[in-house]
Amino acid sequence: MSDIPHTTFLDEVAALPACGKINECIQCGVCSGSCSTATHWEYPPRKVIAMVRAGMKDELLKSNSIWFCVSCYLCTARCPRDIKPANIVHGLESIAIKEGYKPPTTTTTMYRSFAQSIVDHGRVYEFGFMLKYFLRTNPFAALKMLPMAIQLFRHGRMPLAPKQVKGKEELTTIINKMGEGGDR
């Protein structure tokens, strides 16, 4: 099965970890009704699932939907069919990032800065990854964050240098090896 190339958008999504039950969704809407941030989504979670099944890849991945997911898992805890919408949403995010979609949000850049921090240091260095994010998106927005940064620093909550972790090399090896297997 692993040698058959993806045929549809639905296959591509269903092949991702913990996304395999997407076909069993009964479109009841409990996920959308529960979602912490649904009012911000162009297409709320139930619709996201319907669009995957209808093959509406471009419309979906060009929209701001999925990027507002705060991983509250209300959808997942309440879904009557155990679909795990939160996992599907994060799976869709990874497809969008890999395939270079440009949705109208800077959360994509935040994710990438976060991931880069893991690769660079083995652990997320909060201050560094936020700085990188602001430099890549809107350096002026960083000024707005300055009072918060000062507060954190004053309260001993913002170290000015990352820790160096030996496990970083191991992590890089694991990441590369996992990358070799492709997306199924």
Contacts with ligand SF4, residue ranges (CB under 6 A):
25-31, 34-37, 45-46, 49, 69-75, 79-81, 83, 85-86, 89
Interface of this chain with another protein, residues 70 to 109, rule: CB under 8 A: 70-74, 76-77, 84, 86, 90-91, 93-94, 97-98, 105-107, 109
DSSP 96-111: HHHTT---SSSHHHHH
Answer yes or no: are the C-beta atoms of 46 and 31 closer than 8 Å: yes
Query: Which does residue 34 bind out of ligand SF4, another protein, none, counting CB within 5 to 8 angstroms by kind?
Result: ligand SF4
Query: Which does residue 46 bind out of another protein, ligand SF4, none, counting CB within 5 to 8 angstroms by kind?
Result: ligand SF4
Query: Which does residue 14 bind out of another protein, ligand SF4, none, counting CB within 5 to 8 angstroms by kind?
Result: none
> CA of 161: how far to CAs of 128, 129, 133, 168, 171, in Å?
8, 12, 17, 16, 20
Which parts of 16-125 fold into alpha helices (H)? 30-34, 45-53, 57-61, 74-78, 85-98, 107-121
The residue type at 70: V
Query: Which does residue 148 bind out of another protein, ligand SF4, none, counting CB within 5 to 8 angstroms by kind?
Result: another protein
Answer yes or no: are the C-beta atoms of 10 and 92 closer than 8 Å: no
Residue given tokens 């909060």 in the structure block: 126
Q: Where do contacts with another protein occur on this chain (CB under 8 A)?
A: 16-18, 36-37, 40, 67-74, 76-77, 84, 86, 90-91, 93-94, 97-98, 105-107, 109-112, 114-115, 118, 122-127, 130, 133, 137, 147-148, 151-152, 155-159, 163, 165-168, 170-171, 173-175, 177-179, 181, 183
